[in-house]
Structure 1
Amino acid sequence: MLVSGVGGIGLRMLIHRYDRSISKDRLLDPAARRDHPTVTGPLNYLLVGSDRRPNSPDSEQRSDTIMIAHIPASLDRAYLISVPRDLLVSIPASSTTGYGGGSDKINSAFQHGGGGQGGTQLLSATLTRLTGIRFDGAALIDFSGFQRVIDLVGGIRMCVDTPVRSIHTNTQFNPGCQQMNGTQALDFARQRYDLPNGDYDRQRHQQQLLKAILDKIATDKLLTNPVKLDQVVRAVGSSLTMDTNGVAVEDLIFGLRDLRSDALVGIRVPAYSEMVDDTSYEMLDEEADDLFRSLASPHVEDWVRTNPKWVNQI
């Protein structure tokens, strides 16, 4: 979306610079990797949000954000499916850390795999076991790095539905649409306590955050300011570690050049809360199976149309 408005030689130069700024790693487990990758939809990408990069020695970090980005065959829109962090799942064993496998919350798969590359691989294997989906690529996103991106574009517009006080900074966020800088936006998107729907509201706010960043990039005059454009491209690149599954970044960008921020749809995985041995978990609702099957087919739009209660307004 960032580079799709640049033409000719300028676009290729920008892609080359963007490609060099991105860290690359094998983030997908072999069992979770789609064979014969292309940029022909439908496509499914795993997005993992963390405050750490893959070379971090801190293996205690859990994945704060888990999304599946589904792009249909038309390649002109995207569905952001947020996976509940407390979803009870069966996690496979990890040869990286010696973890023997077992039942746990899905966000702990990142930790059991050692964080970074190993953690993302174990998380991808867990999701493939759960959903049957094999991924076309993956990205590990350093959301704290996106703070600089937001500040470079002059802040973003976020809408607050209900009053919430940050447990991290004690900042009070009052209802209404408002301009936020990078620190404020990231702080708001991390909150889940005291919200009516808890982590589900946090998921929606994270979807809203990504859309707001892309909205601002699309409407800002970045394309006429090469210095700022270069800064934003490098800031985005430094916040990502990608596994394109062998597809060249240039091919990926050209293939998705018609994707726009107003064509993003937020979805929450159908699930319900349940206490197990005094611990609160999320359990998959039976409607989740239909969602997962649709992600491997051309029929996600049909699922969205018939299941509006699981669609987030972002």
Structure 2
Amino acid sequence: MTTEQLLAPDARGDRAGVTGPLNYLLIGSDLRASNPGAGQRADSIVIVHIPAGLNRAYLVSVPRDLLVQIPADPAAGYTGGTDRINAAFQFGNAGATGAKLLSATVTLLTGVRFDGAAILDFSGFRRVIDLIGGVQMCVDTEVRSIHTGHVFTTGCHQMDGARALDYVRQRYDLPNGDYDRQRHQQQLLKAVLQKVDLGDLVAQPVRLDQFIRAVGSSFTVDTSGVPVEDLAFALRGLRPEALLGVQMPTHAQDVAGSSYSMLDPAADSLFRALRQAQVPDWTTVNPAWVNRL
């Protein structure tokens, strides 16, 4: 597993060790081996909030088309500007430097500082899903893939890595467009956790080491100096049923002929809840923005 500095200095928290509450930044890269010249934006951006008990997690999806201020990054040759948030990863030249600019952008937007981060690419995550024997995904709206032409019919289906990732990348022809795509990605993270029992893994150190080695090529991580094994042990009580999806309060808006996601007033209270470790209370008061996974 590759370890790098993925967080900008201003985006990194100051807590030591693995004591909650915790905030992690997950970045899904959309680099296509078949079309590397198309650039590399962050296809998925998720803030993972883990309360102090370390036995629950809230997955806050950041719309990739969210219009934000991206700070300057002189080292990457970027002078700063307003753009879709997923462009920050590309403007920072992708990889670790792109993650730093993206983390700085998310912190500028939310005020949240992070305890760690991870980058995963489509091909790598596909291998992880195949390694664990696939996942069960429940399709709520029939949709045809714009990439493969496969029709995902309603109902629960066992999917391998390629099929699962194809499904969670769909947003066209879905009732809520990109918001449905975000929810499906949250469901996939839950489905993976259902197959990977952290409590069972940490109870078998040899198996844990084998698993970390097997998935290591799929992830680049920044744990703020905490060994991955220690992080897995600390989160051993996190169960799939304790995952809750959160939709960032936004709405679609046309700006100069282009469609963007724009923040709703309720977003400020969500950002404050993340900073002050009050996310459970926020979801109780704002059920309309909660995705039951």
Choose which of 6, 12, 16 in structure 2 pairs with 1:37. 16
Are 1:157 and 2:136 matched, yes or no? yes
8 Å CA contact 2:135–2:158 kept in 1: the answer is: yes
TM-score (ref. length: structure 2) = 0.92
CA shift, 1:230, in A, is 6.4
Pairing 1:140-289 to 2, within 5 Å after superposition: 140-218=119-197, 232-289=211-268
Q: Distance in 2 between matches of 1:28 and 1:230?
A: 25
> Which structure is higher in RCO with an 8 Å CA cutoff and minimum separation 6?
1
Give the number of equivalent residue pairs: 289
Q: Distance in 1 between matches of 2:195 and 2:22?
A: 25
8 Å CA contact 1:96–1:114 kept in 2: the answer is: no
Identity of aligned pairs, percent?
Answer: 62
Segments ≥4 residues shifted beyond 4 Å: 221-232
Q: Distance in 2 between matches of 1:26 and 1:262?
A: 31
Q: Is the partner of 2:26 in helix, strand or coil?
A: strand
Q: Distance in 1 between matches of 2:22 and 2:201?
A: 28
Describe the shift of the 1:222–1:43 C-alpha distance in structure 2 as closer, same or farther (beyond 3 A).
Answer: closer
8 Å CA contact 1:59–1:114 kept in 2: the answer is: no
8 Å CA contact 2:24–2:48 kept in 1: the answer is: yes
8 Å CA contact 2:143–2:153 kept in 1: the answer is: yes
* Paired letter, 2:147: H
Choose which of 125, 139, 162 in structure 1 pairs with 2:118. 139
CA shift, 1:254, in A, is 2.4
Q: Is the partner of 1:214 in helix, strand or coil?
A: helix
Aligned residue number for residue 44 of structure 2 = 65
Are 1:113 and 2:92 matched, yes or no? yes
* Root mean square deviation, CA, Å: 2.3
Q: Distance in 2 between matches of 1:110 and 1:310?
A: 26
Q: Distance in 1 between matches of 2:76 and 2:276?
A: 35
Describe the shift of the 1:185–1:228 C-alpha distance in structure 2 as closer, same or farther (beyond 3 A).
Answer: farther
Are 1:313 and 2:280 matched, yes or no? no
Aligned residue number for residue 62 of structure 2 = 83
* Paired letter, 1:152: L
Q: Is the partner of 2:251 in helix, strand or coil?
A: strand
Describe the shift of the 1:34–1:163 C-alpha distance in structure 2 as closer, same or farther (beyond 3 A).
Answer: same
CA shift, 1:227, in A, is 9.6
Q: Deviations over 1:36-67 (max 9, x none)?
A: 433111110000001459xxx86821000000
Q: Distance in 2 between matches of 1:162 and 1:59?
A: 30
8 Å CA contact 2:24–2:117 kept in 1: the answer is: yes
Describe the shift of the 1:33–1:58 C-alpha distance in structure 2 as closer, same or farther (beyond 3 A).
Answer: farther
Give ranges in structure 2 of 5+ residues lacking alignment: none
